[in-house]
Amino acid sequence: MTTKGAPMSEQSDEVIYEVRSHVAFIRINRPERRNALATSTVEAISNGFLRAGEDDNVWAIVLTGTGDKAFCAGGDLKEMDDIARSGAQIHVPMTGPSRNMFEIILETYKPTIAAVNGAALAGGCELLLACDLRIAVDDVQIGLPEAKRGMGANFASVVLPRMIPRAIAMEMLYTGKSIGAQEARDLGLINRVVPRKDFEDSVQAFVDEVVVNAPVSLRRYKEMAAKGWELPVSVALRLNAGPNPYLSEDRVEGVRAFVEKRTPKWKNR
């Protein structure tokens, strides 16, 4: 475990994992393939979220990509073609011994932020859908071209119609057309759109707005929102999911810091 504020990083060929000031930064590092999702990339991203979810020193997670061309261009079609030519079958969503990557991200009970540095297409679009918050450069394209490739957008076909107007979601799925960052912002799909020259500073400022708050409260919000998404209000209100902030040391500290007019020192318990 790292000490407060101390950077910790681990670099691999495909995904870079780094913790800075209570934030885990997970960066897809395949710019030569537009950060496409090979089987090994999916495994590395999944492992990164699992690792961050289990680390008490991590209070939020940022997912981004290397370069300025693509956040993630979706599945690695070259790998898929190679698999098909070999006579084998590509992985089918929600099957096999491992959890689905998008499900892992949804069930990581800490704030997750997609920092969309470039095009987010197909599985790349689904990655940002799996995160809680999204900040994007103003020239990115976001779309689900799976129907043009004979694929299924399994995750997006379920969650996108729950996140934006159903007719718009179905149009994106049926036509495979992309939308720009500002249109995505207008639909409520993107939280913030920023110029490319300000992107890194804006991402850091965005995540700082999150992690300045009590980590116990953040985890409570995430777990309650995730588990209560489709439940009736009367049932969701009684979930009591995640850590109970009302009984926490952070609640005591937060109130006392307010009374004493100082910055709280969170303990994450």
Helix boundaries (H) for 113-268? 123-130, 146-149, 154-163, 166-175, 181-186, 199-211, 215-227, 233-236, 249-259
| Residue 126 known to be catalytic | yes
For residue 31, the 8-state DSSP code is G
Instruction: Give the list of residues 6+ apart from residue 66 with CB closer than 8 angstroms, or none.
Output: 16, 27, 28, 29, 30, 31, 35
Tens digit of each residue's pLDDT (9 = 90 or more) over 88-134: 655 666 566 678 999 999 999 999 999 999 999 999 999 999 999 99
| Residue 237 clears pLDDT 60, i.e. is over it | yes
| Residue 12 clears pLDDT 70, i.e. is over it | no
**Joined tokens for residue 105:** 């991200």
Q: Mean pLDDT across the stretch 166-176? A: 97
Report helix, strand or coil for 168. helix
The one catalytic residue among 14, 79, 126, 230: 126
Helix boundaries (H) for the chain? 39-54, 77-85, 101-106, 123-130, 146-149, 154-163, 166-175, 181-186, 199-211, 215-227, 233-236, 249-259
- Residues 210/215/218/222 CA torsion (nearest 10 deg): 120
Answer for the pair 224, 244: CB distance below 8 angstroms, yes or no.
no
Considering the entire predicted model, what is its pTM? 0.88
Rounded CA gap, 155 and 229, in Å? 16
Q: Mean pLDDT across the stretch 56-83? A: 82
| Residue 6 clears pLDDT 50, i.e. is over it | no
Of the listed ranges 14-28, 95-109, 164-178, 199-213, the one predicted with least confidence: 95-109
| Residue 239 clears pLDDT 50, i.e. is over it | yes
The one catalytic residue among 146, 200, 230, 253: 146
Tens digit of each residue's pLDDT (9 = 90 or more) over 82-98: 666 677 655 666 566 67
| Residue 260 known to be catalytic | no
